[in-house]
């Protein structure tokens, strides 16, 4: 036996060793395979389910009056008050978060008849029976409102009222369709903490009024919109207290008013298409990256006349939307008529008698 040849024993030592290259190749591929697996798992978790289209197989039934928009979507609407052909005033109401066309302000029949008011409300895209709009932007809802008004032949100008998330939409309407507006009432509007022109001290004051989980939900909607569906449906961390209707978010004056929402016959219909294209899309758009800011000076009605008024209402005890945002906006925009309610919370527009007060202020300048 040559001296250089190693001695071989018997048994297991005589078996050929596994090729080192095959083992190392498998070891190198394992992390990649795990990465692909967990990436696919994460992707499936964060993808929202498709909306349940009203009137489609498996979707909710269509029971409302609806109008078709140019892009093929439908908006469901509800008319009240005097017939539009006889109306002196035509008002379109824009509902808030977790609401629909039925949540229009409960203006008294006496006032509707006395002043000759036609009142129109509609389901915003993705809510109740209006088709979802995955490409929705802060501008697109203003365009939808104009199309709705034109389809129903409301004439060249109309009044607008918007509450909460619908109140934020009023700023978009003032920006994009001022030529169609006869007056605007903005009620407890949501504000975007990333609007340019918002001073750091106002930002800090407003930001920290929110609960921690609401700050997180808003931050995700702004910075990681693709994660909004997962964040607002997961159970690892507390998500939006507004969405969850956390009792702690209601002020003293709000609490007796919550029954008006809890007892709604249409509660289940509001998000019957799914939460993503209604609630989550609201957050993504409302707290998203706007290309402009309502804080930019300039009266949209300059040169049009003094008859067009913009009223901004906010309750000091509002825990949904900090009053600091509306206070600052009212100081920056002198053409806005500001009404601050010292003991009111977020739900003041539904308090008994308050809808009439708001409407009289808008149409007659009372209050």
Lowest mean pLDDT among 126-140, 184-198, 289-303: 289-303
- Whole-angstrom distance, CA of residue 359 vs CA of residue 364: 8
* pLDDT of 119 over the 90 cut: yes
Relative to beta strand 74-81, strand 65-68 is antiparallel
Residue 111's SS3 state is: helix
Residue 187's SS3 state is: strand
Residue 244 or residue 283, greater confidence: 283
CA nearest to 276, candidates 124, 49, 52, 98: 49
In the predicted model, what is the mean pLDDT of residues 101-105? Answer: 97
Q: How does pLDDT run across 281-336, given as a tens digit for each residue? A: 999 999 999 999 999 878 999 877 668 999 999 999 999 999 999 999 999 999 99
In the predicted model, what is the mean pLDDT of residues 55-72? Answer: 96
CA nearest to 362, candidates 92, 71, 169: 92
| Other beta carbons within 10 Å of 234 | 13
| Matching residue, tokens 């003991």 | 343
Per-residue pLDDT, 10: 46
Cα separations in angstroms, 35 against 28, 29, 41: 12, 10, 10
**Can you spell out the DSSP letters for 296-355?**
S---TTTTT-TT--EEEEEETT-SSS-HHHHHHHHHH-TTEEEEEETT--S-GGGSTTHH
Residue 99: pLDDT band with limits 50, 70, 90? very high
Per-residue pLDDT, 7: 44
In the predicted model, what is the mean pLDDT of residues 55-63? Answer: 94
The answer to whether the beta carbons of residues 305 and 208 sit under 8 Å apart is no
To the nearest 10 degrees (0 to 180), the angle between helices 165-176 and 140-151 is 80
Cα separations in angstroms, 201 against 171, 193, 197, 342: 22, 12, 12, 21
**Can you spell out the DSSP letters for 209-224?**
TS-HHHHHHHHHHHH-
- Alpha helices (H) in the chain, listed in sequence order: 20-46, 109-115, 140-151, 165-176, 200-207, 212-223, 228-231, 259-262, 267-270, 281-286, 323-332, 354-364
Residue 40: pLDDT band with limits 50, 70, 90? low
Residue 42 or residue 10, greater confidence: 42
Residue 244's SS3 state is: coil
Q: What percent of the chain has pLDDT over 90?
A: 78
* pLDDT of 139 over the 90 cut: yes
Residue 185 or residue 297, greater confidence: 185
* pLDDT of 216 over the 80 cut: yes
Per-residue pLDDT, 307: 83
Burial class for 307, CB neighbours closer than 10 Å (0-12, 13-18, 19+): exposed
Per-residue pLDDT, 367: 65
Q: How does pLDDT run across 148-174, given as a tens digit for each residue? A: 999 999 999 999 999 999 999 999 999
φ, ψ at 163 (rounded to 5°)? -120, 130
Residue 366: pLDDT band with limits 50, 70, 90? confident
Average pLDDT, the chain: 90
The answer to whether the beta carbons of residues 121 and 76 sit under 8 Å apart is no
Handedness of CA 82, 88, 94, 95 (dihedral sign): negative
Per-residue pLDDT, 239: 84
Lowest mean pLDDT among 34-43, 270-279, 357-366: 34-43
Cα separations in angstroms, 86 against 181, 252, 307: 19, 41, 21
Residue 9: pLDDT band with limits 50, 70, 90? very low
Task: List 312's β-bridge partners, or say none.
Answer: 186, 338
Per-residue pLDDT, 8: 46
**pTM, whole model, 2 decimals?**
0.88
The answer to whether the beta carbons of residues 264 and 199 sit under 8 Å apart is no
* pLDDT of 26 over the 70 cut: no
């Amino acid at each position: 036996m040559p001296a250089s040849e190693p001695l071989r024993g018997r048994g297991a030592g005589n078996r050929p060793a596994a090729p080192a290259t095959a083992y190392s190749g498998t070891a190198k591929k394992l992390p990649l395979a795990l990465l692909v697996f967990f990436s696919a798992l994460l992707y499936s978790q964060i993808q929202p389910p498709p909306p349940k289209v009203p009137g489609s197989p498996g979707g909710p039934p269509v029971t409302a009056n609806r109008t078709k928009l140019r892009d093929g979507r439908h908006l469901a609407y509800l008319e009240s008050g005097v017939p539009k052909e006889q109306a002196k005033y035509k008002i379109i109401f824009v509902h808030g978060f977790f609401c629909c066309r039925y949540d229009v302000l409960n203006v008294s029949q006496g006032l509707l008849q006395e002043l000759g008011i036609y009142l129109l409300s509609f389901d915003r895209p993705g809510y109740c029976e209006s088709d979802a709009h995955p490409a929705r932007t802060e501008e697109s809802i203003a365009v939808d409102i104009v199309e709705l008004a034109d389809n129903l032949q409301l004439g060249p100008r109309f009044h607008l009222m918007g509450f909460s998330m619908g109140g934020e939409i009023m700023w978009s309407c003032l920006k994009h369709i001022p030529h169609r507006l006869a007056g605007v009432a903005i009620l407890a509007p949501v504000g975007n903490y990333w609007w340019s022109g918002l001073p750091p001290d106002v930002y800090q004051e407003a930001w920290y009024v929110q609960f921690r989980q609401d700050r997180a939900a808003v931050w995700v909607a702004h910075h990681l919109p693709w994660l909004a569906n997962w964040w607002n449906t997961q159970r690892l961390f507390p998500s939006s207290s507004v969405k969850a209707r956390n009792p702690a978010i209601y002020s003293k004056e709000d609490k007796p008013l919550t029954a008006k929402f809890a007892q709604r016959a249409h509660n289940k219909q509001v998000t019957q298409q799914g939460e993503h294209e209604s609630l989550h899309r609201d957050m993504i758009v409302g707290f998203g990256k706007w290309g402009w800011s309502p804080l930019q000076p300039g009266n949209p009605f300059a040169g049009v006349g003094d008859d067009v008024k913009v009223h901004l209402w906010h309750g000091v005890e509002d825990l949904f939307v900090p009053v600091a945002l509306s206070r600052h906006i009212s100081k920056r925009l002198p053409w806005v008529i500001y009404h601050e309610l010292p003991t009111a919370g977020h739900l003041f527009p539904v308090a008994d008698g308050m809808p009439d007060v708001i409407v009289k202020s808008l149409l007659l300048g009372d209050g």
